């Protein structure tokens, strides 16, 4: 039996329109996080082919497991296209660790990326 984790795809977000790009910047005691799908190569985002959701996780440097810090659904379907742009921003109380992003394309499945923050 295939595990869900075996279906998650990854790659270079500068070469593939489905891989979440992650930007994280320290702001005092907080971490500002931005996740974008299609930053370098735009995702079509039509009714037939769109990003349905993005989830953001953070694993503290000394932590054992990642913590879900955001879950974003894109359900603003129009007649011929989707109006939402798959880009999310959040701010968390964190310092060092790893930011993970997971996204779902209705045609091409699950995609992931991560960014270590020092």
Judged against a pLDDT cut of 90, whether residue 3 lies above it is answered with no
From 3, 96, 108, 118, the catalytic residue: 108
With b for 16 or more beta-carbon neighbours within 10 A and e for fewer, the 50-69 pattern comes to bbebbbbbbbeeeeeebeeb
**How far is the C-alpha of 2 from the C-alpha of 10, rounded, in Å?**
17
CATH superfamily of 4-117: SOR catalytic domain (2.60.40.730)
N- to C-terminal Cα distance for the chain?
38
Q: Is 6 helix (H, G, I), strand (E, B) or coil?
A: helix
Contact assessment for residue 54 and residue 110, using Cβ atoms and an 8 Å cutoff: no
Q: Read off the pTM.
A: 0.89
Dig out the tokens for 48 from the structure.
């037939």
Q: List pLDDT tens digits, range 12-43.
A: 877 888 999 999 999 999 999 999 999 989 89
Residue 64 is among the residues annotated as catalytic for this protein? no
Residue 43 is among the residues annotated as catalytic for this protein? yes
**Closest among 50, 110, 102, 109 to 77, alpha carbons compared:** 50
What's residue 68's pLDDT? 98
Q: List pLDDT tens digits, range 36-88.
A: 999 989 898 888 888 999 999 999 999 999 999 999 998 755 554 557 789 99
**What are the residue boundaries of the structural domains of the chain, listed by start?**
4-117
From 43, 50, 55, 112, the catalytic residue: 43
DSSP 10-76: ---TTT-TTSEEEEEEEETTEEEEEEEESSSS----BSSS-EEEEEEEEEETT-SS-EEEEEEE---
């Amino acid at each position: 039996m295939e595990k869900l984790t075996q279906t998650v795809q990854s790659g270079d977000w500068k070469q593939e329109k489905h891989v979440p790009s992650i930007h994280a910047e320290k702001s005092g005691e907080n971490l500002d996080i931005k996740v974008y799908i299609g930053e370098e190569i735009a995702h079509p985002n039509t009714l037939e082919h769109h990003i349905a959701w993005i989830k953001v996780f953070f694993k503290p440097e000394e932590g054992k497991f990642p913590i879900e810090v955001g879950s974003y659904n894109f359900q603003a379907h129009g007649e011929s296209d989707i109006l939402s742009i798959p880009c999310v921003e959040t701010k968390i109380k964190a310092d060092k660790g790893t930011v993970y992003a997971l996204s779902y394309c209705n045609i091409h499945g699950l995609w992931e990326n991560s960014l270590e923050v020092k």
